[in-house]
A and B are shown apart, each in its own frame.
Chain A
Amino acid sequence: MPILVPDINLRIIAPALIVTVTAIVVLLGELVTPAERKRWLGYLSIAGLVVAAFAAFSLWGANASGFSGMVVADNFGLFLTLTIALSAALSILLSIPFIHAHEIDQGEYYVLLLASVAGMIVMATATDLIVIFLGLELLSLPLYILAAFQREDTRSLEAGIKYFLLGAFSSAFFLYGIALVFGATGTTNLAKIAASLAQSAGSPMLSIGVGLLMVGFAFKVALVPFHWWTPDVYDGAPTTVTAFMSVAVKAAAFGAFFRTFQFALPALALDWRAVAAVLAVLTMTLGNVAALLQSNVKRMLAYSSIAHAGYILIALVAMSANGLSSALFYLLAYTVTNLGAFGAVIALSDGARERLEIKDFAGAAREHPLVALALTICLLSLAGFPPFAGFVGKFLIFGAAVETGWAWLAVIGVLNSLVSVYFYLRPVVQMYMSEPAEGWSGIRVAPLVALALLIAVISVIALGVFPAPAIALAAGGLIR
């Protein structure tokens, strides 16, 4: 038989490759690093992520595909790669003091986080359902462990097992969907699926396959009614892991979601757009209403992240170039804003003792005015107030929906944003209007947390006041 030469193009997968290599170096470094120097493994991980981000940036506009058409380096994937790398770097900055305070500072924490990042990058740049699925698993498996990383705490272990069981359950659906799409079209390559569907009409088997794919994605990005694992997992997992999961998983999974549906399945758009619109309404409404009822900040942010997934889904329903770029911008804005909010929550905790009830925040403005200000800015941005990043993101998404004739969906989105103002402002009111609660003495904000918070808040304001450059970058995100 002839010797086949594989289509190797390492440049295209450079970002994922660099992250993977960093993970392996950190794994080996863990063996030789004494316990009191573990933080250096964190710095090393951040350095790897920065290099990976530069690699992604150098690929900007390359629009090349490789490995027999399984991955692509297009601006859409690269934008998401940069978002994911940024979220991971900020999460590690928050994690270094956090895992030290909780006495779980093992190098494996960074290894698993980096492996998850590699899976996310693969998922965001994959153009083949096989690779999307493997990327999804590579991002999920480390997160199951990370959620359970505080294993002295039963709640963390339970978060891990719950996340695992539901994640594995949902990937079975996703896989079944892939198998049926493969059976109906004879390929798993997204471009070839699109080509095959352009020639012949879809079959019932294909529709079921697409439906199951949607269920799989819906589980991963936590759309109602596949969201019920989210609050418990986000609540039980270590706060830094929650912060990372709540943003980065969404960026990667929505990337593959958009790529699969908007690019490979436009032929079936009539069917899935209606379903996605219904899911978006349910997700936004239930997420915001449930968030109203929470007294714990972590759970509130969990439900708020569900609601934000609903907003992003509106961009998919719009199914236009503007919808795509608005989703990219929104994901970036949401990433920095949510990490800022979590960073502030972490900053206000006293070592291993976390302050997670909303009433714990009473008087924070007097004790830690800067952290309180940062949290206020992030919460206002999440609620969609100008001049912050969240406002521009919502404006773009609702605009894209109106443009393509989904004005009613945009109206529901706006109404939901109004509802969300109430619960986002509750911690703010507590911080500024109430007398200081007990136990503020002795809280010192770790310098790394302060740095992460500073980066996040500056980004939130910059993206809100000067959104043009980021919008231009996001608009270049052609899908191929």
Chain B
Amino acid sequence: MIPLQFYLIVAAILFCLGLFGALARRNAVAILMGIELMLNAVNINLVAFWRYVKPAAPTMDLAGQIFALFVVTLAAAEAAIGLALIIAIYRSRDTVNVEDVDLMKW
């Protein structure tokens, strides 16, 4: 069987790549994609922990999988709202670059 830490390390790499993308990109859509990648990385962790970790209580048996499902739903809701915001700002300013968007100082 594949050792647990293989999954955890893949997840860590994807999380950090997503983190890098979210911090380094200037396009709001690309930043949002980086965040989606981070959420996906967490999901690998959750499902892997379900498979490998002894649950502390019977009610927690499938928690990892179910939690992953909630995260998928949440990611969909977040993507919808984020993209709606991006379209709204594009309509008013004709740009999606966060730097151009910056009227206010950080």
Interface residues of A (CB under 8 A from B): 68-69, 130, 133-134, 137, 141, 144-145, 148, 151-152, 154-155, 157-161, 164-165, 168-169, 172, 175-176, 178-180, 182-183, 185-189, 192-193, 195-196, 228, 232, 235-236
Contact = CB atoms under 8 A, between A and B. Distances in A.
Contacts of B102: 158
A236 B18 CA distance: 28
Nearest to A155: B103
B49 A182 contact: yes
B92 A192 contact: no
Contacts of A196: 56
23 contacts: A68-B59, A69-B59, A130-B67, A141-B77, A141-B81, A144-B85, A148-B88, A154-B92, A154-B93, A155-B103, A157-B85, A157-B92, A161-B28, A165-B35, A165-B82, A168-B35, A172-B38, A176-B42, A182-B49, A182-B67, A183-B45, A187-B60, A188-B60
B77 A179 contact: no
Contacts of A232: 104-106
A141 B78 contact: yes
Contact of A172 (B18, B49, B57): B18
Interface in B30-54: 31-32, 35, 38-39, 41-42, 45-46, 48-49, 53-54
Contacts of B81: 141, 144-145, 164
Given A168-B35, A179-B46, A236-B104, 13 more contacts: A137-B74, A137-B78, A155-B104, A158-B101, A158-B104, A161-B85, A165-B35, A168-B78, A172-B38, A175-B42, A182-B46, A182-B53, A186-B54
Contact of A148 (B8, B32, B85): B85
Contacts of A195: 56
A193 B49 CA distance: 15
Given A158-B104, A164-B85, A134 B70 contact: yes
A169 B35 contact: yes
Contacts of B89: 154, 157-158, 161
A193 B39 CA distance: 23
A179 B48 CA distance: 10
Interface residues of B, number: 46
Given A141-B77, A196-B56, A232-B104, A175 B39 contact: yes
Contacts of B28: 161, 165
Interface of B: 8, 15, 18, 22, 28, 31-32, 35, 38-39, 41-42, 45-46, 48-49, 53-57, 59-60, 63-64, 67, 70-71, 74, 77-78, 81-82, 85-86, 88-89, 92-93, 98, 101-106
Contacts, number: 126
Given A137-B74, A145-B81, A179-B42, A158 B103 contact: yes
Contacts of A179: 42, 45-46, 49, 67
B57 A182 contact: no
Given A134-B74, A141-B78, A160-B85, A165 B93 contact: no
Contact of A186 (B15, B55, B105): B55
A379 B64 CA distance: 47
A250 B104 CA distance: 24
Contacts of B93: 154
Contacts of B53: 182-183, 186
Nearest to B4: A183
Given A168-B35, A182-B49, A175 B71 contact: yes
Given A179-B45, A235-B104, A187 B78 contact: no
Nearest to A228: B106
B46 A189 contact: no
A182 B64 contact: yes
Contact of B32 (A151, A160, A168, A178): A168
A165 B56 contact: no
B49 to A, nearest CB: 4
Contacts of B98: 161, 165
Contacts of B48: 183
B5 to A, nearest CB: 10
Contacts of A155: 103-104
A145 B15 CA distance: 27
Nearest to B89: A157
Given A141-B78, A175-B42, A228-B106, A161 B101 contact: yes
Nearest to B86: A161
B98 to A, nearest CB: 8
